[in-house]
Amino acid sequence: MGELVERLGLGLPGGAVVVDPDVTAAYRRDMAGFCAAGEPAVVVFPETVEQVQHVLRTATELRVPVVPQGARTGLSGAANAVDGCVVLSMVKMNRILELDPVNRIAVVEPGVVNAELSRAAAKSGLAYPPDPSSWESCTIGGNIGTGAGGLCCVKYGVTSEYVLGLDVVLADGRLLSTGRRTAKGVAGYDLTRLFVGSEGTLGVVVRAVLALRPAPAPQLALAAEFPSADAAGAAVCEVMARGLTPSLMELMDATTVRAVNELGRMGLPESTRALLLVAFDGPDRVAELARTAGLCREAGATEVVPAEDQAESDLLLEARRLALPALDRLGTTMIDDVAVPRSRLAEMLNGVGAIAERHGLTIGVVSHAGDGNTHPIVIFDASDEEQTARAQLSFDEIMALGLELGGTITGEHGVGLLKRDWLARELGPVGLDLQRQVKAVFDPLGILNPGKMV
C-alpha cells in the first residue's frame, strides 16, 4: 500500500490522495442495500484527464483494482469498493466545458451534476432531457455509467440517446476518443454506446459530448384514479396505441398512494387501487390532455382530474415526487427495477401483488408506466432475519416474473452487484460469453471495477 500511495502521489496534487480510514470508509458504497462493499486502500480525486491517466497507469503497473465513482447514488452496488482498491472519485472534474446552441451540444466533465447541466442548458433555451429522480445529486459520469433513465424518458428517451461522443481513459492509461460532435455519424463500431451502461468496467469517462434539445413548454398534467391495475394498464395501452406522446406517464399502486397520503396529506381517495399521472408538453397539450382524460374514463377511471395550469400540474406531480420518501418511512426498502413491454404492465402489477401476498410483505409499486418500467419497493424489518430472507426471495421472484413477461431485470438502475447472477439468466450463455470477451478486450488484466456486472 505504501508504494501505491507514493506512486499515486507522483502524479496527483496534494490532498487528492486520501488514505485516512475515517474518510475512505465514506466512499465504500453506493445507495443499494444488500451488496457487499470492500475496504478501499485509497480514494483519489483527480482534476484533469492526465491525472486520471496517471492513476490508471499506476494501477495497471501494480495490478490494483480501480473503482470509478460519481455521486454514489447508484442503486445496484456498481460503485461499491472492493478490498484494497483505488476508489477513483470523479466529482472534482465537474466543469461544463461548452454549451453550443447551434450544434445543440454540451461538452462536460463527468462530475457535473445532472441538474446543474439542465439549469445551464435552460439559460440558452435548451434542455438535457434524461432526468433521473436523483438529478439534484447524481453526476453525468454516473448517468453514463448506468445508462440512467427518468420521468420524461417516455417521450425523450434515456441517457444512451444523448451521448454523442466520449473521451475515455482505458485501464492501461491510454486515452480513447469515441463518437462525434456532429448531428449524424456512423463511422466504425459504435463504441460510444458500448460505454453507456458499462458501469465503469470498460474505461473511465473523462469527457462527454451530449446532445441537447430545445427546451419544451411547461407540462400540463392530469391525475386519474382507477379501481384496478387492469383498468390503469388498459388506459396506458390506449394512450400509447392512439399515438399520443406524453412527456410523463407515471403510475402508483394503492400502497404507494396510501403512503403518499400519510406523508403529504394529499387527500387522495383511499379506495384508489392505481393512480395514473399523465403530462404533455407539446403545442397541442390542452387537446392531448382532454383526449387522454376521455381514454382514462373509457378504461374505467373513477375520477379524472386535469390541471388547468402549470401550478395545478405541479401540485398533481408532487404526489409522484413524494412516493419514494413516503415508502421509505414504512421500513427498510429494497427497490427493484424491472421493465416489461408496456402492454404487459397490468400483468406485472398483479403479479407483484400476488408475490407480496404469498410472502406476507408490503410491496409498493411506482412505475414509469409509459416505459413499462416498474419499481416494486419491498418493505421489511431489517432487524428480523426471517422477514429479510422473505424480502430477498420476493425481490428475486419479481425479476423472474419480469423475464417471464418478456421484460428485463433492469430498466435503468443497472446490474452492479445486486443483479449479477440474474444477468446470466437474461443474456444466456452465448450473450454472457461475448460480453465477457468484450470486457477482456478493454481490460485484459481485469482491474476496472472487478466483480461488477459481467
Ligand X SMILES: Cc1cc2nc3c(=O)[nH]c(=O)nc-3n(C[C@H](O)[C@H](O)[C@H](O)COP(=O)(O)OP(=O)(O)OC[C@H]3O[C@@H](n4cnc5c(N)ncnc54)[C@H](O)[C@@H]3O)c2cc1C
Closest contact distance (angstroms) between CB of 35 and ligand X is 12
3-class SS string, 152-173? CHHHHCCHHHHEEEEEEECCCC
Residue 16 or 301 having the CB closest to ligand X: 16
Among the listed ranges 58-66, 131-139, 283-291, 300-308, the one in contact with ligand X (CB under 6 A) is 131-139
> Is residue 78 a contact point for ligand X (CB under 6 A)?
yes
Q: Which of 256, 264, 271, 260 is nearest to 226 (CA)?
A: 271
> Is residue 53 a contact point for ligand X (CB under 6 A)?
no
- Binding mask 425-454 toward ligand X (x if CB under 6 A, else -) reads ------------------------x-----
Q: Which of 105, 252, 324, 423 binds ligand X (CB under 6 A)?
A: 324
Residue 248 or 257 having the CB closest to ligand X: 248
- Surface-to-core class of residue 120, CB atoms within 10 Å of its CB (0-12 exposed, 13-18 middle, 19+ buried): middle
> Is residue 133 a contact point for ligand X (CB under 6 A)?
yes
β-strands 274-280, 248-253 pairing: antiparallel
DSSP structural state of residue 451: T
> Is residue 79 a contact point for ligand X (CB under 6 A)?
yes
Closest contact distance (angstroms) between CB of 134 and ligand X is 3
Residue entry with cell 483505488: 86
> Is residue 70 a contact point for ligand X (CB under 6 A)?
yes
Q: Which of 219, 312, 322 is nearest to 264 (CA)?
A: 322
> Is residue 204 a contact point for ligand X (CB under 6 A)?
yes
> Is residue 407 a contact point for ligand X (CB under 6 A)?
no
Q: How far apart are CA 423 and CA 132, in angstroms?
A: 23
Per-residue buried b or exposed e for 423-440, using 16+ beta carbons within 10 Å of the residue's own CB: beebeeeeeeeebeeebe
Task: Count CA within 13 A, CB hemisphere, residue 95.
Answer: 8
Among the listed ranges 133-141, 210-218, 306-314, 349-357, the one in contact with ligand X (CB under 6 A) is 133-141
Q: Which of 116, 167, 199, 288 binds ligand X (CB under 6 A)?
A: 199
Binding site for ligand X (CB under 6 A): 30-31, 68-75, 78-79, 90, 110, 132-134, 138-139, 141-143, 145-146, 148-150, 199-200, 204-205, 324, 412-413, 449
